[in-house]
Chain A
Amino acid sequence: MTTSAADLLLWVALPYVCLAVFVVGHIWRYRHDQFGWTSRTSQLFEHRWLRWGSPLFHLGAFMVIGGHIVGLAVPDSWTEAAGISEHAYHTTAVWAGSVAGVAMVTGLGMLCARRLLTRRIRLGTDRSDKLLFPLLAATVLLGISATAAHNVFGAGYDYRESISVWFRGIFTLRPQPEAITGAPLLFQLHALTACLLFAAWPFTRLVHVWSAPIGYLSRPYLVYRRRAIAQAPVPHGAPAQQPGTRRSRHPA
């Protein structure tokens, strides 16, 4: 099976470029924009829709991410070796995936609705949000449509024999673009928007994912700090700035 230049571009070059942007972008953002690194909460402005939309979206997202890790990273030979039949696997995946997907889509829909309908939130929506929300919505909707069209109502498509192989090939540095070229269009589009989402990630509010405050479970309640023993003030935006030198630069 030969792969065309377009396939190489879409299924090898694009994923690697996006991954590179993802990694380098995060390093850059972490070093230069601690001040902008936040969940950018808008609960102050609207809480009725957020109260349902945000937990639905986030908890749905956790399940969806978990499902993707299992479905993409774990080869089907492993699950079969563990004694889980193909049929049992797919039944579970479709059921759990549907619940998670519906929760995530409902939640995201509510979050998008409040963002669009509440004027003060809409006005507080910045450029990164205008990129993130459509991209995230497209990825999620394509993903759930692909699952619905092919695996819930359709004849069933075994992505573990194709898309997962392509996915693992990216990370094992043995790219296999031919594994995904035969996949249904909805799955392909889902994979492409996901790549773009990963590229956009470090430049959006999605970075707050990496700040999940797990350490809070074990740290002492009271935090004492001495006044920072800092070097001479570094001009803002100077290239050689180290993380930490801006600590307590804006205590307010």
Chain B
Amino acid sequence: MKVMAQVAMVMNLDKCIGCHTCSVTCKQTWTNRTGVEYAWFNNVETKPGVGYPRRYEDQERWKGGWMLDKRGRLVLRSGGRVKRLLSLFSNPDLPSIEDYYEPVTYDYDNLVSAPAQDDVPVARPRSVLTGKPTAITWGANWEDGLGGAPEHAGGDPNLSGEWAQKVKFEFEQTFLFHLPRLCEHCLNPACVSACPSGAMYKRVEDGIVLVDQDRCRGWRMCATACPYKKVYINHATGKAEKCTFCFPRIEAGQPTVCSETCVGRLRYLGVLLYDADRVGEAAATPDEKDLLDAQRGVFLDPSDPQTVAAARRSGVPEDWLEAARHSPVYDLVMRYKVALPLHPEYRTMPMVWYVPPLSPVLDAVDAAGGDQDDPDHVFTAVTRLRIPLEYLAELFTAGDTDVVAGVLMKLTALRSYMRERSLGEVGDETALKAVGLTGREAEDLHRLLAVAKYADRYVVPAAHKEDSAALSAMENRCPVEFSGDAQPTDGRRVMLGIPTLRRRTSDAPAGGHL
């Protein structure tokens, strides 16, 4: 047993209002640079919808993630080692910029520099890539709040089964929820496995998956291999970039920027201990519907003395073990089992999990004339509802509706019980018992999900400085700048991804390659 620790995330989708604060703060922190204008390390999608990049979940097309070959071995869907090297010259499965969107800026200058005239001056959109005026026809959240859904949302790859015929996009009959997405920092990352130059790696200490910018040679296989399409090509540097899980903040014991700024307080960060030796075996589980249990089987109980002893042998520090025992992620994923992974069938063992949204179900109860406070009505609705239960199952359980229904029932029972309690009643525990919760557990889960105090949501142990001088390199400076102590001797600062290209004012280049 090789015990490793990972800082993992859970998002409670019932509380996501789709405000995009996480996306915007992430962008301002990490991708407000030339070359990655189109890249959103964190984005919020409206589901149903085709997503960003378009139809990224269609792995027949994009060849992301892993699959089992005829002999049951785990192989990358984009091909083996030889095929990968043969496709170095032209990667047949790489999304093009149109699959994301053409980034634009606006002629803001025109607003103040336009001559006096009868008409109000306007700021026209201009492509950042060509500098030409352009029409905005797509964006990272183009489908926000089901915008354009009657036209586009039918292209959602999750709407492939027969049941999908019943999904309607008319205003009165439709449903939606928001899905914030970032890099999953997988246990079995396909991007890392596909990187020909070995520039991508998973950190031993905290499981964060990173791209070594000095070793990336721009072979662009990671972008194809990632089934979540969360590795981006910086078109100015020609190198891959991705969500860093805000590692400078995590190392300092702080939550990621997307978590910190989430106004809905729906994100949870905590340590999960797992057995690295069993990851490959779990990812190769034959039946896709068993992958959820297989992944849960890899996680280790932090209060089990054997686990603790093995973790110590593997070099996990004491304060990390302590944090693992208080991990809200462990509680949601393992103790209460209300969190589910996004697309476990990609076999990457993702580490950002989701509490599925109950709201569309409650809407359906109302629509059917039921009482959404009555667990019986809701239970009935959950089991009878063909939509969106299958839809949620496509997203979170490889199509197993029983698991999603179980989670939704648990959340319904919790909601009903806590409503009674908060109205000063004793609380009927029969519904709780039916979903395997005690009154005390319900209070605990309610505190975690509904009250959601900062200290309960984020339990992030700081990195150990004694084994990381990289951290000290980060302490005194912005991660995208260099230390201000010495002026560069050659007068040319090469900053992270800020090239001389495409700057309209060429007299002030910030740096560049050659």
Interface residues in chain A, defined as those with a beta carbon under 8 Å from any beta carbon in chain B:
33-47, 50-52, 54-55, 57-59, 119-120, 123-124, 126-128, 203-204, 208, 211, 213-217, 219, 221-233, 235-239, 246-252
Inter-subunit contact A44/B94 (CB<8 Å): yes
Q: Is B129 within 8 A of A123, CB to CB?
A: yes
A229 neighbours in B (Cβ, 8 Å): 467-470
Closest chain-B Cβ to A181's Cβ sits at a distance in Å of: 35
A153 and B263 CA atoms in complex are apart in Å by: 75
Residues of B within 8 A of A (CB): 30, 81-82, 84-85, 88-92, 94-97, 127, 129-132, 188-189, 192-193, 195-198, 200-205, 210-220, 233, 235-239, 241-242, 244, 247, 463, 467-473, 482-483, 485-486, 488-490, 492-494, 496-497, 499-502, 512-514
Known: A33-B514, A124-B501, A226-B204. 16 other contacts (CB 8 A): A35-B237, A36-B494, A39-B219, A43-B96, A45-B96, A57-B89, A126-B501, A126-B513, A126-B514, A230-B470, A230-B473, A237-B488, A237-B494, A251-B213, A252-B211, A252-B496
Docked complex Cα distance between A226 and B95 (Å): 31
CB distance from A56 to the nearest CB of B (A): 9
| Bound-complex Cα distance A230 to B471 (A) | 9
Number of A-B contacts (CB under 8 A): 217
Q: Which secondary structure dominates chain A's binding surface?
A: loop
Residues on B with C-beta less than 8 A from A221 are 192-193
The contact sample of 17 A-B pairs, CB cut-off 8 A, is: A35-B513, A40-B237, A40-B238, A41-B233, A47-B90, A54-B89, A124-B235, A126-B501, A127-B514, A213-B217, A227-B463, A228-B470, A236-B482, A237-B488, A250-B496, A251-B247, A252-B210
CA distance A126 to B369 in the complex (A): 65
What is the CA–CA distance of A22 and B215 in the complex, to the nearest angstrom?
21
Which A-chain residue is minimally distant from B497 (CB atoms)? A252
- Tell me, rounded to whole Å, the shortest Cβ–Cβ distance linking B232 to chain A: 9
- Is A128 a contact of B486 with CB atoms below 8 Å? no
Q: Is the CB of B217 within 8 A of A39?
A: yes
A227 engages B494 (CB within 8 Å): no
- CB-nearest residue of chain A relative to B235? A44
Residues A217 and B514 in contact, CB atoms below 8 Å apart:
no
List chain B residues, Cβ under 8 A from A119.
Answer: 129-130, 132
Min CB gap B347→A, angstroms? 12
Report the minimum CB–CB distance from A61 to chain B (whole Å): 10
Shortest 8 CB-CB distances between A and B: which pairs? A213-B196, A250-B213, A40-B238, A34-B214, A221-B193, A235-B486, A38-B218, A36-B513
Residues of the A chain whose Cβ atoms lie less than 8 Å from the Cβ of B239: 35, 38
The answer to whether B215 touches A247, judged by C-beta atoms less than 8 angstroms apart, is yes
Q: Are A227's CB and B468's CB within 8 A?
A: yes
